[in-house]
Amino acid sequence: MKKHKIGIIGFGGAGIALFQHFERFSDCSVTSVLDIKETAFERARFYLPSIFTTYSLTEFLNSGIDIVVVTSPDNTHADYIADSLSAGKHVLCEKPLTDSIEGIRKILDAIARHPGQVVGVQHQMRCLPVHTEIHNIVRQGQLGKIGYIEGYYVHNLTKRAFEYDEWRLRDNATPLIYSGIHFVDLLRWIMKDEVVEVCGMANNICFPEYPESDLNVILLKFRSGVIGKVVTAFGAGRPQDHTVQIYGDQRSIFNNMLFEKDGGFKIFARPKKNTLPGRKQAFIKDLAITGFSNMFEKLMKIYPYNAQYNIGFYPIRLYEHYLAVNQSAKNFLDAVNGEAKLQCTALDAARSVAVALAGVEAYRTGATVQVKKYWPKELGQL
């Protein structure tokens, strides 16, 4: 089996996470790191003392690697992707693919000129088991006519936002582009539909140290008439929340629960085991979650339910981050090896960027914004 050599651009939180995933795969190894700070190299050498580190993009691309993983600040993605493709490398890019129309054009032009290279994007929300099941349920038409869909990216970043670098502060990195785009992309993928207009609001109350705003809320109108909502919150005093809700005229979804009109429901996804491999604590945690989950489901069966929905939600969070990132990275490697199709292509990720850019203008100006304003011809017909 071919042993891919991987280079990572930007060794902060995302770079470290993907380093750990790729090092666990049998058909690849991380051999090079490009960054602009010595502290990043110190982190890299902590994990792998022999790793090659450099400030020079030329040295990095000539270091024997065949895959580049881009985890640098958002506004650098386009240049690094284009340069890596020109050097004959496959590329995996952390979301967002880019943060501008110019970036979209540059990336898609580079891909068109180098069709032999694979370019994937880390939209790992698509790989989460509960989201895969939601996607299948919608595709099968089990909800009937869908009128509404929403997703939440609630993640308190008051400690983490500037942990490795202050690029978010320097670049005025608005939450919708940096993180909320996860759910812009997820909702588009679930609906298999495009957004045509966006309105929204924002404030900067819970995390005032964050640039511009820490709360972004946008409403989306799809071509089909379906209304969507994406909430992105960086300062909320609570654990992460990645809720998905969908309202259909026959059935509705709240995360992993499929509700019937008469008050009945079924659970279609459950917590996965071993999301933190190689640790005794993970095994104990798995046992506790599985036990609680089984107990709760038995109580749900004996508790009388009716149209009032006495059981309203499943109490266990289903965002297995390790599993989702792992599956997304593995899908990319499988695509490079010719064994799978990409779960998220650069073209699809670019369309999510266009919607998010329209959302940023919407909450900054208070206007309803037409997505076509941010939809270059390279994205195809809207």
Please provide the DSSP assignment of 58-83 as one string. HHHHTSS-SEEEE-S-GGGHHHHHHH
Query: What CA–CA distances, in Å, run from 74 to 81, 97, 141?
Result: 11, 8, 37
Q: What is the pLDDT of residue 65?
A: 98
Residue 379's φ and ψ, nearest 5 degrees, are: -85, -5
Q: How far apart are CA 106 and CA 102, in angstroms?
A: 6
How much is the mean pLDDT over the chain?
A: 92
Q: What is the pLDDT of residue 308?
A: 53
Q: How far apart are CA 163 and CA 167, in angstroms?
A: 10
What digits encode the pLDDT tens for the residues 124-159?
Answer: 999 999 999 999 999 999 999 999 999 999 999 998
Average pLDDT rounded to a whole number, residues 340-362:
98
Greater confidence (283 vs 322) lies with: 322
Going across the sheet that includes 215-222, the strands are 265-267, 257-260, 251-254, 244-248, 146-154, 227-233, 215-222, 195-203, 369-370
What digits encode the pLDDT tens for the residues 262-275?
Answer: 777 888 998 876 55
**Domain definitions of the chain by residue range:** 4-122, 126-327+356-365
Could you tell me the two tokens for 337?
Answer: 């090896």
379 pLDDT band, cuts 50/70/90, is very high
Residue 217's φ and ψ, nearest 5 degrees, are: -130, 125
307 pLDDT band, cuts 50/70/90, is very low
C-alpha closest to that of 91 among 121, 113, 63: 121
What digits encode the pLDDT tens for the residues 53-71?
Answer: 999 999 999 999 999 999 9
- Whether pTM exceeds 0.75: yes
Task: Indicate the range of 186-200, 201-215, 220-234, 308-322 predicted with least confidence.
Answer: 308-322
Within 10 angstroms of residue 170's Cβ, the number of other Cβ atoms is: 11
Characterize the bridge pairing of strands 265-267 and 257-260: antiparallel
Q: 126-327+356-365, superfamily in CATH?
A: Dihydrodipicolinate Reductase; domain 2 (3.30.360.10)
Query: Under a CB-based contact definition with an 8 Å cutoff, are residues 355 and 195 in contact?
Result: yes
Domain at 4-122: CATH code: 3.40.50.720
